Structure 1
């Protein structure tokens, strides 16, 4: 945490760094008086001692305090004012309301302080905020009564009783009010033909009867008698307008500024629930109907509690709405249908202290919606600054419930009722206002009646100036002696007004050179009576003991000297609080780099000059929050799917779902995965179902999650059927394999037998025809002739 000792160390370090660079901005400046010296730098001091530097050719009364003492200036003559803080009112914080009828509680501490600021010098103070338990709540329900909201009107007819029961769990003092709106009763916003004057639904078959359109109608002032709310709602009828947008912003403004009519209590939380199913008309839309007068931001309810200036003034602007809501400590809750969520979400960035919730088509979730919005409001604290003087710089460091300082942040979230958070506020004045000007500003948490009033006193004058003497003998009776120096009458120069303009000599000329060989008065002035009179320049001021300095030769950014965030002193930019760099173009503010989850650049980059430089491949966005291709993208978006669609998961219990999960979620029955720009994500739920969704980025930078309406779940398997199927499958596979084996063997045998038969048929032959076969028996024929009994025979023997 910042302390005065740390500030002193920083100041000494800065002084040392200037010494290292060889630049003494105090002696090198153009200070000719104590007041001018104090404006150069907060480390500069002035010596008002009369005989200081006497006997020296050239000396400067403006220097660092320690240097002045070394050069002989006594401490009582050194003018060195510093910034300081005084607490004027510091009532301790309350922990709980004091009763159902009187809530004299304190939620911010301190309540009044006074600052004494020396330009360029920083001081600081601490602000503590605690939301008390059992604080009263005023809730005004502002409903769109155009024809499309007829089913919603039927739903809320008994809203008062149910809402009072639920809010009774959060506060013992709850009041409820009711108002309605349609649109300006003029063309082209509403039907103006004679046949529609009494009944704009004339000829409309679905709803033939409705009341004439109106801008805003206050119906029931805030009351703890919730039955009255139900009774008034029962009497209401819808109306009909011509164009799609409604005149809801007219109604919001009137409900905010007509405090007495509505009945807002000073000691209560003010909740304004704005329920609609269409977009609103904005400022300048009234020109379509010839309304050119801007809204004056005042209450215009007539005797019938109707908005009487509806057809005389234009619709209010977002800036005017934000101003009046903050001025009257009103939290605005947009309760809109899903298709309008992105539009109204953009409005919340422009109107401080507003939230947006998704309303069902028939408003059946309105009670839970209000409870969620109230818990969300009560879980955060954000400081705002009112009537901030332009010449004062403020920087904040938040210390939330975890005790970790967060520089540049002025809000804390995820709080519980009774948590105390603190903010360290450093203040710096950049210049001095005109004498006699009273400055002040107010710091207050958004939506709180409690505030811290800060009075500012500038330390721009030196105490020695109170004893200034005109026509002093010290100044040759032709000048005013003030803080050790003479302010000479016109035409006279010198430390004691002893010279007249135009007198020069070689002795005087040597005193007008910064060093031997340098030009007289740096070539940018004339030497007169051992002093340099610097020339005037159209670019700025030339100054210094030797005219060596100017206020226009510093670094520029986009053509602007010191980027407009610093002052040029002798060629060097002296940056205002919150800026650094040679040309003061780099902001030290880190709050724009804090993502909604409290991380710096979502943990995917670094904050450079107040902007995130994303280092994670595929990451983009103001805080590097968008990264469909990051490894953790699906895991991060899964938590949003769980809490937004099923009210489960890690974010469902700590009331951070709506804060961290701002992406548009679209539910579908069948998920398309052919979009090349979308990342498909899936995860397994606790009941073993599979949830699928896609994550993509639209051209306008809006993240879109497209998810299945319900996870994909398969029925549980039958164990017996699985067993029978497995056994049957095994048997079937065995039989098939056996049959295949038998078929293969049969085919193989048949092929072998056929091959044998073919070989056998080719090997069959007659043995006698075998040339290698020789019969074992040989037969030879022998012829013989012999006579037997006188007869001759011729025969053969074999």
Structure 2
């Protein structure tokens, strides 16, 4: 590896492995050798080790006191939970250095807990529940720490419209007219009621005095209260050597930054403490609500763990807040706060079971990478957090630091690493190795430079008018020939800075990277674009700074394959006909198209509709594209006109549409593997011929007659069926009649029959006769 730099400082910036030889007679052989190269190469070429400039990145531990443990019996003044406490880094741009950070949460660490309660009207039953909270909470917390203090504050909302009731009748009692709770105190932003104390009875006394208030809208002004509780250190009484817990109890959502504009508050929150002599928030009606970013910053500055104790219906909202405010947890609060003690204990145990590192004042020109090693001993790259820890567990983090550039000379950099919520921190100071020690021996007008140049680190920097490795050439009569021989153009470096001018010609330096060549040393075979560290992606040759790609590859670094198989969609088209294949990946050009092969496009028109516009503008100079004069730009497909369409090709799609003249235009399109479509269209649309008038008339008359005959036959059929039914009904009735002509009781036969008995007086015979 060798570089083309002309000074030691430039060499150090080329690559973290580059070294500079400051030896005066180095590289004066017949073949020029660059002073900027790998250390081992410089040694091989005869550079004395004492003249090699190759600063390395490193770490120096300035303060590293041992971690505290349970057995060491730590006091509030001797507890150490992070090691080391102070280090110094020496960074060379592009080079990396790393160091270890260990963290051990100790047992029986002091705890300060400030209880911040919503005293809006909906929290009245919760207020009744916590009236003896202090005593019960102290008993539970003593199981976790022997040094516990408790404080108390409350909030409602800004006492101004539209957040609270401001009519005169509500000034003294916002609940005026509200039958369920006839008496309330006036609305307020935040009140600090009890500084942190170990006398928990004082907490109970303060809670007993409190009364609820009433605001107008659903959201509360809790974020104002959180910020004041965090930044008003002296009033609240936060101890430096203690865990700081801020419990935020509410049953509704908070107002956020910019909500204050509804009441005319245009000034953003300044992040300062604004408690007056009565321990009330005095800027409630002067500044907007604080932002989440400001809350996170102030909570972290003061090492405060925020515990959201909220109603179940708002759990998701506050859970989202925890992602934006480091060191924050959220727990579900029962309707009347009856689970508040267990909630606080659970949240405290959850906080103590996690260690998360944060970085403060991070310089922009530094890259930091973390690798966590938690209790299982497995390194976890990219993580700066360990969870599920027990008190006394030790976790470690490897921190790798890299400088991307060099700041201005004399610039100091530093940053701080600290676990979230801990007072302990690691201070890191940074020095940059951007200069060479040999520059301390710089000599102006040195005899080594013909007394007309400055000698520094083995090279001469000539005065204006003088040129050459030892400033041995003077501009003047020979200036034009010298310039034309050793400089590519006016203002360019001599021999492109990668060689020396001797005898009016450039002698190029050797390079471990490859070959430097050209009349002005302007070309090489190693300065081409790379992909993943590989010159020309391994698919081309470097020729004078440009990649000459092998067949099948294109691009500045030859990393773009011309293969299109990965772009073929399920229907066999390139990018579903909605894009182009670039470097083996689809770039969708159709608005609304997406997917690996642009196969998804809810808003795309169908292919026939898209191709139709090209048919109209290309063949008939009509349609939307013709009006916009974009036909040639938008329609690149090949169009073939035929007299008759062939529909036997299974890869072609038949499309048709109706023209303005009520004609039908038909065409087919075929998608090829290269992404181009071929359209085959009829030369002219198919238009139906006009019908003969006489034929139409006869057809109409015949149709009318036919319909009339059909209707008449139907009528006759209906009448016939009806008559037959009536006659059948008559016959049936006749057969069922009760009488006929022969049996009519009113009818008498014209002949009657009588029987007459007659007796003839005959001696031996009598005779009966019948007379009719």
* 1:504–1:527 contact (8 Å) kept in structure 2: no
Aligned to 1:35: 9
State whether residues 488 and 497 of structure 1, in contact with CA within 8 Å, keep that contact through their aligned partners in structure 2: yes
List runs of 5+ in structure 1 lacking aligned partners: 1-23, 514-519, 534-542, 558-568, 573-581, 585-798
1:165 and 2:176 correspond: no
Task: For 1:14-33, list aligned pairs within 5 A.
Answer: 24=1, 26-27=2-3, 29=4, 31-33=5-7
Match of 1:341 in 2: 315
User: What whole-Å deviation, never above 9, does each CA across 1:308-335 have from its counterpart, x for those lacking one?
Assistant: 0111111111110000000000000000
Q: 1:775-786, aligned counterparts within 5 Å? A: none
Unmatched runs of 5 consecutive residues or more in structure 2: 489-493, 509-517, 533-543, 548-556, 560-772
Pairing 1:79-90 to 2, within 5 Å after superposition: 79-90=53-64
Matches within 5 A, 1:243-392: 243-392=217-366
1:444 aligned partner:
418
Change (3 A) 1:32 1:470: same
Q: Does the Cα contact within 8 Å between 2:443 and 2:454 map onto a contact in 1? A: yes
- Choose 1 or 2 for highest CA Rg: 2
Over 3 Å counting, the alpha-carbon distance change for 1:445 and 1:208 in structure 2 is same
| Matches of 2:333 and 2:373, distance apart in 1 | 35
Asked whether the equivalents of residues 293 and 324 of structure 2 are also in contact (C-alpha less than 8 Å), the reply is: yes
Residues 143/531 of structure 1: CA separation in 2 closer, same or farther (3 Å cut) = farther
CA contact (8 A) 2:370 2:383 kept: yes
Tell me by how many angstroms 1:491 deviates: 3.2
Q: Is the 8 A contact 1:97 1:135 kept in 2?
A: no
Change (3 A) 1:69 1:545: farther
Structure 2 match to 1:474: 448
Aligned to 2:91: 117
- Contact kept? 1:97, 1:104, Cα under 8 Å: no
Looking at structure 1, the residues matched to 66 and 546 of structure 2 have their Cα atoms a distance apart, in angstroms, of 49
* C-alpha RMSD of matched pairs (Å): 3.2
1:423 aligns to what SS in structure 2?
strand
Deviation at 1:510, TM superposition (A): 8.0
Once the 2 structures are TM-superposed, how far is the Cα of residue 96 of structure 1 from its aligned partner? Answer: 3.3
Q: How does 1:708-747 map to 2 (within 5 A)?
A: none
How much has 1:59 moved relative to structure 2? 2.7
Q: Distance in 2 between matches of 1:122 and 1:464?
A: 23
Residues 200 and 550 from structure 1, CA distance in 2 versus in 1: closer, same or farther, beyond 3 angstroms? farther
Query: CA, structure 1 residues 100+441, in 2 after alignment: closer, same or farther (shift >3 Å)?
Result: closer
- Structure 1 Cα separation of the partners of residues 38 and 520 of structure 2: 17
Which residue is equivalent to 1:641? none
TM-score for both structures, normalised by structure 1 = 0.62
What CA distance in whole angstroms lies between the structure 2 residues aligned with 1:555 and 1:313? Answer: 54
Q: Secondary structure at the match of 2:43?
A: helix
2:124 is equivalent to residue 150 of structure 1: yes
Alignment match, 2:390: 416
Deviation at residue 532 of structure 1 after TM alignment: 10
* 1:582-632, Cα deviation, whole Å (9 max, x unpaired): 999xxxxxxxxxxxxxxxxxxxxxxxxxxxxxxxxxxxxxxxxxxxxxxxx
Matched residue SS, 1:350: coil
- For 1:776-798, what per-residue CA distance to the aligned partner results, in whole angstroms no more than 9, with x for missing partners? xxxxxxxxxxxxxxxxxxxxxxx
- What is the CA distance between 1:457 and its match in structure 2? 0.9
CA distance, structure 2, for counterparts of residue 149 and residue 583 of structure 1: 68
Moved over 6 A (4+): 97-101, 504-513, 520-528, 549-553, 569-572
Distance 1:208 1:553, change over 3 A: farther
Q: Aligned in 2, Cα 1:131/1:524: closer, same or farther, shift over 3 Å?
A: closer
Classify the secondary structure of the residue corresponding to 2:219. coil
Number of paired residues? 524
**Which residue of the other structure, out of 513, 517, 521, is the alignment partner of 1:546?**
521
CA contact (8 A) 1:182 1:214 kept: yes
Instruction: Determine the C-alpha separation between the residues in 2 that align with 1:56 and 1:291.
Output: 78
Q: 1:407 aligns with which of 350, 366, 381?
A: 381
Relative to structure 1, is the Cα distance of residues 554 and 340 closer, same or farther in structure 2, using a 3 angstrom cutoff?
farther
Q: In 1, are the aligned partners of 2:446 and 2:453 still within 8 Å (CA)?
A: yes
> Is 2:66 aligned against 1:92?
yes
Q: Please give the per-residue CA displacement for 1:477-535, whole angstroms capped at 9, x wherever unaligned.
A: 1111000001112233221112245857999988779xxxxxx97999998954599xx
1:229 aligns with 2:203: yes
2:185 to 205, 211, 214: 211
Q: Say if 2:76 and 2:110, in contact at 8 Å, map to a contact too.
A: no
Deviation at 1:551, TM superposition (A): 14
Relative distance call for 1:215 and 1:547 in structure 2 (3 A) is farther
CA 1:254 to 1:33, structure 2 compared with 1: closer, same or farther past 3 Å?
A: same
